[in-house]
Structure 1
């Protein structure tokens, strides 16, 4: 069970009544969260922040609030994302089409804040390029291996058109080796050796390998990049990857690859192709 599952309990089709004339604000949503979303008595809800208000043409009359909950769990502060659908005095965290089973919660992600387009995450392209792509990825994810190399190539070859910002999201339960690989990738990128990041997408290694020395040796043999175990286990690297994980939570990202084009979630992951010159 994930930490988020421990913190929250949301009913898929439960709709909670608000006063029809209630103005939706932080206080109203906080009350809803306390009563209907956070069910773990060990979790204290300290506050909620509305990050964004959205609408979907398929859901006329519904306002969609993308929020960040400030929680305390075992004396640890946690900022957890939550999506709330509101219409005519009703509120729910999931809105499901009964005929199709479509959960509209899965159709929406927040807009990328400007702060996430920073130099530390710029992988390829110029930061003043006409279009910004942002990717959450794991080099061992098969879908990432199909999609992300093409995005990298496009940004490298069209630097005035595309700036690619890269965030690590290793899926450790599926391929534990990514924990060490992403550390190596972070250091390589910070040293300006960005091609090492690209080469990780063709690395041949057991996805369940956890021996750091063996992983470093495989990377050196296949990419030519040599690095020490102490360097990838530094506090700076740990904090950077924790920040990436926090960014994924802020953006309600749970899988890879997740791609954004000019701030908007690109569900099909191919929107960048229209920026490539033929």
Structure 2
């Protein structure tokens, strides 16, 4: 997708003296429109954040909505661009520290994103709120997520843990049905479902729903049926989780937000007082 849309811009692409969302939108629209593979394109800046430690630079979160000529299909893609008012660039590095500016910015996790149905442990009024997006079949997640949850669940007034299902269906197709089963079981009132979810042993490429469900029920000591996975409530919960991940530009697992800010170190919960 990115290859179809990408047009190389030099680091010193001139934008104008006073950068604004409108100017960024126009500049990118005019530039991408020059791609012969694109029939039409709309560009919208959805959010603007400061780059911490670099007061002259802002990060512009951009949504591209393009119609491709040959494929005759629509492509929607989210991207981050940087501008200091004079220049615009997709990649920005600090020559002294080597830092990638992309590692210093993220969209805020807003208060309305903390939903009751996603709270798995802790008091909703706890001092710190931690949001976790994870795929239970992601190799790193299977070690990291249970350890992090076990660490925080011991202090319910210190940590409120919110969990969002983010199965990477292209890498782990079995994860999709697995998380549906987990949601169905949670809706029945079962506790500790998320923690036990990481104990299910199944080939990430498994496509047999019967096998996936059999392994799930064995670990959970439950009786979730295939029909349970098709319920409106299950579909709505997973849809909401995936839409939030998309809105926040979450593209990997595990992704953590600590008190509303993406924690790329994934260690802030250990440093919290």
TM-score range, shorter chain: 0.7 to 0.9
Among 140, 158, 162, the residue aligned to 1:143: 140
Contact persistence 1:17–1:90 (CA under 8 A) = yes
Deviations 1:107-128 (A, max 9, x none): 4221212221111211111111
Among 32, 49, 68, the residue aligned to 2:27: 32
Residue number in structure 1 paired with 2:58: 63
Question: Alignment RMSD, CA only?
Answer: 2.7
Deviations 1:12-65 (A, max 9, x none): 754421122x3x3332121123123575524531x52442321232x4522222
Residue number in structure 2 paired with 1:131: 128
Residue number in structure 2 paired with 1:258: 255
Contact persistence 1:147–1:269 (CA under 8 A) = no
Residues 87 and 162 from structure 1, CA distance in 2 versus in 1: closer, same or farther, beyond 3 angstroms?
same
TM-score of the pair, normalised by structure 2: 0.85
Residue number in structure 2 paired with 1:54: 50
Aligned residues: 267
Give distance in 2, aligned partners of 1:32 and 1:165: 39
Quote the offset at 1:82 in angstroms: 2.5
Residue number in structure 2 paired with 1:90: 87
Tell me whether 144-153 or 257-266 shows the greater mean CA deviation: 144-153
Residue number in structure 2 paired with 1:185: 182
Give distance in 2, aligned partners of 1:52 and 1:190: 37
SS at match of 2:193: helix
Residues 69 and 104 from structure 1, CA distance in 2 versus in 1: closer, same or farther, beyond 3 angstroms?
same
TM-score of the pair, normalised by structure 1: 0.84
**Matching of residues 195-210 of structure 1 within 5 Å:** 195-210=192-207
SS at match of 2:56: coil
Quote the offset at 1:97 in angstroms: 5.1
SS at match of 2:256: strand
Give distance in 2, aligned partners of 1:165 and 1:253: 15
Contact persistence 1:11–1:94 (CA under 8 A) = no
Give distance in 2, aligned partners of 1:250 and 1:262: 18
Give distance in 1, aligned partners of 2:235 and 2:7: 32
Give distance in 2, aligned partners of 1:141 and 1:124: 22
Could you tell me which runs of 5 or more consecutive residues in structure 1 were left unpaired when the two chains were aligned: none
Tell me whether 7-16 or 164-173 shows the greater mean CA deviation: 7-16
Residue number in structure 1 paired with 2:113: 116
Quote the offset at 1:68 in angstroms: 4.5
Contact persistence 2:5–2:38 (CA under 8 A) = no
